[in-house]
Amino acid sequence: MARFTLPRDLYHGKGSLETLKTLEGKKAMVCVGGGSMKRFGFLDRAVSYLKEAGMEVELFEGIEADPSVETVMRGAAAMEKFQPDWIVAMGGGSPIDAAKAMWIKYEYPDITFEDMCKVFGIPKLRKKAKFCAIPSTSGTATEVTAFSIITDYQKGIKYPIADFEITPDIAIVDPDLAETMPKKLVAHTGMDAMTHAIEAYVSTANCDFTDPLAIHEIEMIQKDLIPSYNGDMEARDKMHNAQCLAGQAFSNALLGIVHSMAHKTGAAFADYGAHIIHGAANAMYLPKVIAYNAKDETAKKRYGVIADYMHLGGANDDEKVALLIKTLRDMNDALNIPHCIKNYGADSYPCEQGFVPEDVFLARLPEIAKNAIGDACTGSNPRIPTQEEMEKLLKCCYYDTEVDF
């Protein structure tokens, strides 16, 4: 038996932020990030709408990119003090992911972070509060998913929390918020969304309910991502819907080792002054993982279907896989995303020598590979790599070399 779970309600289209006026409750805790929602006036509007609904409102601000365990614990403590019956998270993936984890800790004060990370092991929520998610970026789709990504900086590892309990009750997908994204964020979140759809389509947990969502989203991103990056606001609005469709697909079909590797490399070199931004990591690793997974005949056929829907040509599945890989690499070029860690600069842009030194990468490689294999996303990948294979694959992602195993 399989399960397909989405938010109870999804409001979309320009102006849908006003839906907050209709929420019924007494207290709302609004969780936001670094300030863009305040700068562009969306936070004030959200607070105003919630007060119009008759609620007392408190803010939890300043949630960082790649939120930490410590931030989650601070937020949960603030919720425990305020006792909201609605948690409203708005912004990029980070504040929404952090608020999901805070929600778990608020409902179960004695739960540990380690317990939260047990896959599909979260106890029943909604005893104290419901959850509303409002994304401002077009990539993570956390507003409709059963996932949250939290970073343990002491270990330098990003951990996925995965459970249908943390699927939001309400998602508000208002493209007005996405129109404020800077170009780099458009690029990274867009390729994150593309990775979500492709991994969901070839996942071993794919099904008739997830396949149409994934395929349609791939077609939309192929058409709209680069125009959105270049300032076309109609395409930007469509991308906000596309990434949400991908979220509905992968939340139910799950992901694969592109995400496993991105989770485990993202903060692994933070002591060298930067992170490998999640969407950029996915963009770099996706072509390599497609080449690796295509050694599995079922996966190869499904990549061929993707290539057909993208009208890439190819006389057989091998040619179609090669064309799919080339197309994704061409998209990275158009979006100013590097092809490998070796050329990934501290500012995320391509450069001759990236911020991760070769000797440091090689020294940390065995541990990163081990952690990637143990990631929650690995189990639904078409091929389960051995330690040796994962190390070889990560080396291909560092040097941009061909995957032939």
Length of the chain: 405
Cβ distance 29 to 132 under 8 Å?
A: no
Residue the block writes with tokens 């081990």: 370
As its CATH architecture, domain 183-399 has Up-down Bundle (1.20)
Q: Is pLDDT at 4 greater than 90 in this prediction?
A: yes
Q: Which pLDDT does position 396 carry in this prediction? A: 98
Structure tokens at 190: 């867009």
3-state SS assignment for residue 267:
coil
Q: Is pLDDT at 5 greater than 90 in this prediction?
A: yes
CA angle 314, 306, 198 (to 5 degrees): 135
Quick one: 224 exposed, middle or buried, by C-beta within 10 A (0-12, 13-18, 19+)? Answer: buried
Distance CA 99, CA 158 (A): 16
Cβ distance 9 to 171 under 8 Å?
A: yes
Q: Which pLDDT does position 193 carry in this prediction? A: 97
Q: Which pLDDT does position 330 carry in this prediction? A: 98
Query: Alpha-carbon torsion 123, 84, 166, 155, what sign?
Result: negative
Closest CA to 285 of 379, 196, 372, 393: 393
Structure tokens at 37: 């929602």
Q: Which pLDDT does position 13 carry in this prediction? A: 97
Q: Which pLDDT does position 156 carry in this prediction? A: 87
Q: Which pLDDT does position 35 carry in this prediction? A: 85
Backbone phi, psi, residue 55, to 5°? -100, 150
Q: Tell me the per-residue pLDDT of 146-182, one tens digit each, with 9 for 90 and over.
A: 999 999 999 888 899 999 999 999 999 999 999 999 9
Closest CA to 263 of 371, 357, 189, 155: 371
Cβ distance 257 to 289 under 8 Å?
A: yes
3-state SS assignment for residue 136:
coil
As its CATH architecture, domain 9-178 has 3-Layer(aba) Sandwich (3.40)
Q: Tell me the per-residue pLDDT of 269-316, one tens digit each, with 9 for 90 and over.
A: 999 999 999 999 999 999 999 999 999 999 999 999 999 999 999 999
What is the pLDDT averaged over residues 224-241?
98
The amino acid at 13: G
Distance CA 178, CA 131 (A): 21
Classify 254 in phi/psi space as left (phi over 0), alpha (psi -120 to 50) or beta.
Answer: left
CA distances from 91 to 35, 36, 42, 165 (A): 9, 8, 10, 21
Q: Tell me the per-residue pLDDT of 78-127, one tens digit each, with 9 for 90 and over.
A: 999 999 999 999 999 999 999 999 999 999 999 999 999 998 999 999 99
Q: Is pLDDT at 244 greater than 90 in this prediction?
A: yes
The amino acid at 58: E
**Is 183-399 the same fold as 9-178?**
no
Per-residue confidence at 34, pLDDT binned at 50, 70, 90? Answer: confident
Cβ distance 57 to 30 under 8 Å?
A: yes
Q: Would you kindly state where each structural domain of the chain is located, as residue ranges?
A: 9-178, 183-399
Distance CA 337, CA 343 (A): 10
Q: Is pLDDT at 240 greater than 90 in this prediction?
A: yes
